[in-house]
Structure 1
């Protein structure tokens, strides 16, 4: 396959949209909610939405928050804001109360566009700016305004603010520049070996970088993309087949959940051959490919960065993230930020040689220096051959009896038990100071989970200090809207009356400083 040419360093979203329209014209670009758009119509829609926003007083640099599910109005808003030079702020539709108030306080958007119940929710927490409701006569629409010429935007200008998941603390608004989306499109399309013949499918929300950047990947090569609603394990492959997808995008607990479903005729009744699936447990790769015919591709990227480390369909290793991608650099360091030898766990630092390929920082914080090393908060190991292996989020490291324990490694051991579908490992306070290891386990349907037997299984897979003391079966793990486990919720809940204690070999009521109670984990 011919190597894709890199876009000019001055790339912006309007340039990406314009170039794609000129190259691919009437080729289908997007299917979403019963609407089908080709590339030429997408350019017209972006220019039209920009005109509609401008007619309602929106100016370059203004922030426009969005509270809506995956729908064509949200795509138009994101592209229209970038076209005008305004800033789209798509918010998690699950935000309520204090979490929604926090996001709005951080973003300070003078405009908000959303579905009626969500706009009402924003009003209820104190939003006082201009609000438009989807479907109302005064709401901006791409087809109801005169298209305008693209604004004089620069590659470093903020195109969107995307909020982090908030799995380890309050969510933060990431300033994503115009060029970052073009570089995402190039980096991932190259890694996945995308072509104009591909159909990309995602059911991830548009307030997440993964779904937004799928649009940029399609524009880079002329592929088609299909955006769906929420993830459903029971309907996933039928939806993929209906979309005629060749490439899928998976996150978090999706792979184990799909594998936990009973085998059926739909497992291979589709065209998918590749899937981008960061942080998929290594033992799941083989069974997933054998059952569904899909090769998973791993990689490291974040809202703040880009696809810095990644694999390809022909060069993938189960459990490893990949190697450093062209235009980026990575190193592993200790607590003093000094490099550590290959094979030693440390924090991952990343850097970009591509101008404006990384976010410029967080709202309320000074801009990050261009070309500077960025801390990721991830513990990784660089193997001698240059492949990187994820160990843990640094905040998820469990400290017990003077030993650092990787929750990721504990989860891998627990997940290898045949009665387990999914697991989350996290620290709870110990009577002896530091932490104890606790796991919340989702049993496989039709299997009975014996905590004592699971503990013995872990003792064969882990060093003694890492074997979980506390085990609790739960119906489901608390997840964010993008499939990440909300470990903060599990830590807050802690040991409950239903928790099995290996030290006592019986359920315990509570542990000092740990919130107890019989409620199931959840948001």
Structure 2
């Protein structure tokens, strides 16, 4: 039965749902079924390496064999801290085949954040790029545990000074038998920004990934002729979702190490991409480059434009010939809202898709009328299409899923024609360049400095239409620190994207009657005189 609030332009995903019965929506079954049907058809491309559907299935089984040989068992957590490379996918697929749980970690994580992730996940094995060992050292120094096993990529020399026993990633082993998994079993724990506390590990079941592939695929109208091209990181939901889109629809999946504005279109042409994924400021960055005669010389027919401001949609399509798809989803949920292509309300969230329910509610979870802002709460009609909770945080799970609806913390408006419009965030998080940033983690880093009395982290808008990290700071002694000193204190302790751009030194904070800092007042005041901007000062944060 169709959802009465869904977008009639989006076709139903009944075909894949009929092909894979609920009990079959696990990665080993999906891989085996596609390998049998598509065999040597090209599937995954990393750099100069392309694997077929059959080879990817074989890689998953052999990687599981290597994990078994190392003592990894079903349910064990395996952390992966690596760039976009074939070895990342190799370990991820091996875990899924075996029934172990992959824990992808943002490669920019370090210090307190990384210590928390290693502690909370209890990872038995860490697979890490050798170049990221200094980040691991910072996490250990911040109190994080040392995993039982550490496999490194591109070298085994210990540069941490911690006497770690490093081993190279082993070659794939003997083919292991696929675990008898259920669709609600956890395939991955993905850490997303905390708000009033540390980052939370989102428990993503196999069926959630299946529905990501189905829902996003039908929004794009994918066929086996499509080439899905992404530069987004595999440690986030979006790129993992793209892998499942390609797997389910028989497409080719091309993933680059990272986003490069100067090389984006050349790479898209080289791989004959037809669909790509642009979040936040990426479209604006591409538009900011000087026009070239070959701007339309490519085969991309559509791009995901979630979070791209509406003012960029028209110019982007006019210049590059690529319409943008508005959409909304989160690590805890799924592809929930989507627009026609091109979007009929550029820069909004789109329409609710089939299989989802949404309400816009007040603080008591009572629905508000169309046209009135409230918190967006969601639930899925299909079992295990959403995450199952936060790992090791039952209190946070109950809080977020209270009344059996997932509370997004996003303020939205449902318009009378059924499309939804994002207003702002009720939760205390900042989103920059596709990354969710915990205000709490920024503040804890600042408060560790002996000269800082109080602080608040909050978002301010950038020229690209997204958030930048701003901090207001009260010093224990006047002139004890300069804004540059404050920024430099954060480097090496926070991911580069969380280091503040704007610094405001104040004599006192605006407070509520209960003595809490009124961050909305700081945000609403904006860039008042005296706000220091590190970009205007010409200071570049080290990665």
Question: Above 0.5 in TM-score?
Answer: yes
3-state DSSP of counterpart to 2:102: strand
Pairwise CA distance, 1:348:
0.4
Kept in 2, the 8 Å contact 1:396–1:426? The answer is no
Kept in 2, the 8 Å contact 1:200–1:226? The answer is yes
Task: Encode CA deviations 1:14-64: one digit per residue, 9 max, x unaligned.
Answer: 112112212222111110032100101110000000011001100000001
Q: Report the counterpart of residue 261 of structure 2 in structure 1.
A: 233
2:389 corresponds, among 361, 377, 391, to 361
Task: Encode CA deviations 1:363-409: one digit per residue, 9 max, x unaligned.
Answer: 222366799210001111101111111111124699xxxxxxxx99x
Q: How does 1:470-485 map to 2 (within 5 A)?
A: none
Task: Encode CA deviations 1:231-259: one digit per residue, 9 max, x unaligned.
Answer: 11122111211121000011121111111
Query: How many aligned positions are there?
Result: 446
State how far apart, in whole Å, the 2-side matches of 1:162 and 1:397 are: 17
2:418 corresponds, among 365, 386, 392, to 386
State how far apart, in whole Å, the 2-side matches of 1:106 and 1:33 are: 33
3-state DSSP of counterpart to 1:508: coil
Q: Report the counterpart of residue 55 of structure 1 in structure 2.
A: 69
Pairwise CA distance, 1:295:
0.9
3-state DSSP of counterpart to 1:384: coil
Change over 3 Å in CA distance of 1:506–1:295 after alignment to 2: closer
Pairwise CA distance, 1:309:
1.3
Q: How does 1:112-123 map to 2 (within 5 A)?
A: 112-119=126-133, 121-123=135-137
Pairwise CA distance, 1:225:
0.9
Q: Report the counterpart of residue 186 of structure 1 in structure 2.
A: 214
Change over 3 Å in CA distance of 1:508–1:5 after alignment to 2: closer
Q: Report the counterpart of residue 373 of structure 1 in structure 2.
A: 405
1:287 corresponds, among 306, 309, 315, to 315
Q: Report the counterpart of residue 5 of structure 1 in structure 2.
A: 16
State how far apart, in whole Å, the 1-side matches of 2:72 and 2:121 are: 16
Does 2:157 match 1:129?
Answer: no
2:500 corresponds, among 484, 489, 493, to 489
Task: Encode CA deviations 1:157-194: one digit per residue, 9 max, x unaligned.
Answer: 11111111458863221111111111111010011111
Question: Cα RMSD between the aligned structures?
Answer: 3.5
Query: Unaligned stretches of 5+ in structure 2?
Result: 1-10, 141-145, 157-166, 431-457, 475-490, 507-523
State how far apart, in whole Å, the 1-side matches of 2:414 and 2:295 are: 35
Query: Unaligned stretches of 5+ in structure 1?
Result: 399-406, 432-477, 497-501
3-state DSSP of counterpart to 1:60: coil
Q: How does 1:73-152 map to 2 (within 5 A)?
A: 73-119=87-133, 121-123=135-137, 125-126=139-140, 127-134=146-153, 139-141=168-170, 144-152=172-180
State how far apart, in whole Å, the 2-side matches of 1:190 and 1:150 are: 29
Relative contact order, CA 8 A, sep 6+: which one is greater? 2
